[in-house]
Chains A and B, each alone.
Chain A
Amino acid sequence: MGRRLTAAGIAAAVLLLGCANQSAPESASAPAATSGTRPARYVPPDDPYPSTYRPYGGVPTAITGATIYDGEGGRIENGTVVMVDGRITAVGGADTPIPDGATRIDGRGRWVTPGVIDVHSHLGDYPSPGVQAHSDGNEATGPVRSEVWAEHSVWPQDPGFSRALANGGITTLQVLPGSANLFGGRGVTLRNVPGRTVQSMRFPGAPRGLKMACGENPKRVYGSRNQMPQTRMGNIALMRQTWQRAVEYRERRARDPNTARDFQLDTLVEVLEGRMLVHNHCYRADEMALMLDMGREFGFRISAFHHAVEAYKVADLLRESGTCAAMWSDWWGFKMEAYDAVNENIPLVHNANACAIVHSDDANGIQRLNQEAAKALADGRRMGINIPDEVAWRWLAINPAHALGIEDQTGSLRVGKRADVVMWNGNPFSVYTRPQQVWIDGALLYDMSNPRLRPVSDFELGQPGEGDVK
């Protein structure tokens, strides 16, 4: 059986190669070897599996009369946002000039915000339906699996992407490997557009992320197999040993470019060289403090702690290190390291002048990140932390953009940035509000009133409920 599969696999690969010759992608950089001459030394591309994303195009559009939260803390009443050629070209008050011929949208009684960004999703790598055959988020075959890339697991037909768009106003998301491993692999930042391939969703130029995990999950997964790590000290020891290997590998490669490639360590070297951002699943305050020290020990910076349930206990340390905390508003009690959750975690972190982010980790939660922010905001106010609505919107916009290294591209309504825009049918911190229209790079990709602008994945075609309002 195995042999037959292998033979079939080779036949398929040959067929695929034949097809590829007919329409080579623009970015293919592997030089073709010609018969009879000595092949040139193979030079791998800097960015294999490159983004093929293209904006879907839109008409010049101006939304007028809306309440605008710009995503960086600014607020404009009776405001205007102009999008041309996929970019924000103007944001201002009622006197903002509108280009001739632009489509005008009456935003009175509506709110306009930058598209919501989720730094922590498993859409595509744990897609719906959640059957075993789709369980592609944890390469739980070893605690160090930094060689795997989440994007190689992403199933673009996951119906969850469309729900995140229509109900959550999500325009950008990072899909991460799971947390079974200390080093879970590379995360990928996606534009929330339907596509045939993951490459067509990849956010062009966005740095990749390295998923690391502290705490219960790695030690449970491997400890139960009587492997390292079995304890939190085992977690830390194996992380340190791995970083040390990466440091030595980097030096070796600098001395000798012919050093055999190690994909596992290549990922860590990219982190050490500042080209990849660390996203660290870490619930407990004391473990966050240890991880910050580990970053100092080996010379890497942690961009964000995810599921930082106890961030409120070390908000001062987070501020000093410039590390963001990505949090739920009120999830708690499902495991020991989520036992000390407080409803005010997000505003407490914000109040300490640290970078607070609302994240989902969930195909349902990603549809309501605005609601999660609203609950946390209100709980903060009840304890006397008075954060204006427009400032709290940073938790959904510029802060996650910063943690993903794309704040120059998106995350706020700034002139020149990508026109990732949501118009809400009311105050987006109200439970009674939903996205009315969503633009990604200026392309209108969801319209509550237009059934044709409601994406339906291949999986849903021909099934009960196809095309329904979800």
Chain B
Amino acid sequence: MSRLRYKLAAVLLAATCLAAPASAETIAITGGRVVIGDGSEPIDNGTVVIRDGRVVAAGANVAIPAGATTIDANGKWVTPGIVAGFSRIGLVEVEAVDPSNDTQANSSPFSAAIDVAPAINSQSSSIAVSRAAGVTRAIVSPATGHSIFAGQGAVIDLGGDMQPITRSRVFQFIELGEDGAGEAGGSRASAHVLLRNALREARDLRLPITGRNLPRPGPGAPPPGEARDDPYLLPGTSRSDDVLLTRFDAAALVPVLQGRQLLLVHVERASDILQVLALKREFPALRIGIVGATEGWRVADQIAAAHVPVIANALVDLPGSFEQLAATQSNVGRMRAAGITVAIGMLGDNEGHQVRLSTQYAGNLVALTRIPGATGLSWGQAFAAISSLPAEAVGMGDEIGSLRAGRRADVVVWDGDPLELSTGVDAVWIDGVRQSLENRQTRLRDRYRQPQEGALPHAYDPR
């Protein structure tokens, strides 16, 4: 019992939003091919100005403020940093080494209440490796263990400092397809009942008599991650015995029920997607996003009409399961053509280590535009699918994911087209702070430039 209380305290503490350090220096990156990240095509000979950790201006004909440090990007590309659309980065060092892997908690007494924020390790090697490939932010989700509820995900930065959390408790992640069926005891029908029961248990939570008013749902409400104390967790309230969720789990679903916290639902099959859309009719306040959606193209019009954003794997084209029979690489392009906000994510695809593949995946979607019968993305759309669109999918498009004025100054200078395989990263800023591009991999590379040992073993290299 004392262990439980300790865990509660730790999670509450971690919900505190930490401010990122910003550089007060004004920097102007000039002469490069500038990509805003909002879906527009690149701008030649553009300028990007950042100050106090924010973007001041980006584009053509941008004045360089007096006293700015100028960085010549002639012949380079300048873009917002890549936003990993669905990841588990920072939660795992080595996947198969359980003690280093915090992506899921099979034996936890909790589910929806789990918050990934305290588990994020800003010093994990995958953060440094991904940063060196131009990834600056990531949407980080827990994975489900014994319940359809995985818990609450965060948006993080990939900076080298010790404060990775951009915003915690951004969304609740749940499974409602094959995985959800398994976690719900064996069927999708059971998963849907569990979800409805959980939302009703959240609704039925009684505030203590001394409790304050509920925060109002809507855009003006404070983000759930910033709530220091949850009135539903104060002592002195009673619940019916007829409940499945712990109080803490039920309380975690209150912001979901009220639409103050995004509900990210993983489904793949067309029919499952329609069932998720139907939830909005039953619980009108829900804010829903869909993750996966391999068969999304088959019901794209319905998704678009429901204004539900999608975070999809880019290149799934195999019927890897019976919920992915209609898989095609054209899925993202077809959904976008239907008017859906579609971002690229890495669900079930080395999402703890390989978010750096986002650029390659986006480039492949451009390649589809040259295949008869396929539907791809324009270059600008493809880049947006790994920058502004993932940010918008989780309601943070005004904060990260593009070089529009006022956004956090996450900027990458590349030595060529960032979606091209041969391109490397020259420089990265996160919140306006220049980042190191060194990591274990670059150190190992340098040590073994020549495999043969010299006068002393490699353990003494490099000197």
Contact = CB atoms under 8 A, between A and B. Distances in A.
A448 B364 CA distance: 15
Contact of A313 (B424, B441, B448): B448
Interface residues of B, number: 57
Interface string B121-132: 000011001000
A216 B95 CA distance: 13
Contacts of A160: 318
A381 B415 CA distance: 13
Interface stretch (A206-214, A245-253, A341-349): A341-349
A368 B421 CA distance: 11
B350 interface: yes
B320 A128 contact: yes
Nearest to A314: B451
Nearest to B366: A432
B441 A341 contact: yes
A464 B325 contact: yes
Contacts of B320: 128-130, 363
Interface in A375-426: 375, 377-379, 381-383, 425-426
Given A334-B350, A460-B319, A431 B421 contact: yes
A56 B295 CA distance: 34
A7 to B, nearest CB: 32
A135 interface: no
A336 interface: yes
A159 B317 CA distance: 10
A374 interface: yes
A330 B420 CA distance: 16
A352 interface: yes
A129 B321 CA distance: 5
A96 interface: no
A315 interface: yes
B322 to A, nearest CB: 6
Given A375-B360, A465-B325, A468-B326, A339 B94 contact: yes
Contacts of A458: none
SS class, residues of chain B in contact with chain A: loop
B419 interface: yes
Most buried by A among B316, B318, B371, B373: B318
Interface in A84-143: 128-131
B424 A464 contact: no
A348 B451 CA distance: 9
Interface string B313-353: 00111111110111111100000000000000000001011
Given A129-B322, A431-B420, A469-B374, A333 B95 contact: yes
A331 B233 CA distance: 44
A383 B448 CA distance: 12
B107 interface: no
B97 interface: yes
A379 B93 CA distance: 23
A281 interface: no
Contact of A378 (B298, B321, B422): B422
A448 B315 contact: no
A332 interface: yes
A434 interface: yes
B372 interface: yes
Interface in B394-453: 419-424, 440-442, 444-445, 448-449, 451-452
A434 B370 contact: yes
Interface in A417-470: 425-426, 429-434, 448-449, 451, 459-460, 463-465, 468-470
B441 to A, nearest CB: 5
A425 B374 CA distance: 15
A282 B448 CA distance: 19
Contacts of A378: 421-424
B328 A470 contact: yes
Most buried by B among A377, A434, A459: A434
B321 A431 contact: no
Contact of A469 (B319, B328, B360, B449): B328
B270 interface: yes
Given A425-B370, A464-B298, A332 B441 contact: yes
A225 interface: no
A129 B370 contact: no
B448 A430 contact: no
B43 interface: no
Contacts of A316: 451-452
Nearest to A383: B445
A-B complex: 8 closest residue pairs judged by Cβ atoms: A431-B363, A465-B326, A464-B326, A378-B422, A374-B421, A335-B96, A333-B353, A469-B373
Interface of A: 128-131, 159-160, 163, 167, 216, 312-317, 330-336, 339-344, 348, 352, 363-364, 367-368, 371, 374-375, 377-379, 381-383, 425-426, 429-434, 448-449, 451, 459-460, 463-465, 468-470
24 contacts: A129-B319, A129-B320, A163-B317, A167-B329, A312-B448, A313-B448, A331-B354, A333-B353, A336-B94, A342-B448, A374-B421, A375-B360, A378-B421, A378-B422, A378-B424, A379-B424, A430-B421, A431-B360, A448-B371, A465-B327, A468-B326, A469-B373, A469-B374, A470-B327
Given A332-B129, A332-B353, 4 more contacts: A348-B445, A460-B325, A463-B326, A465-B319
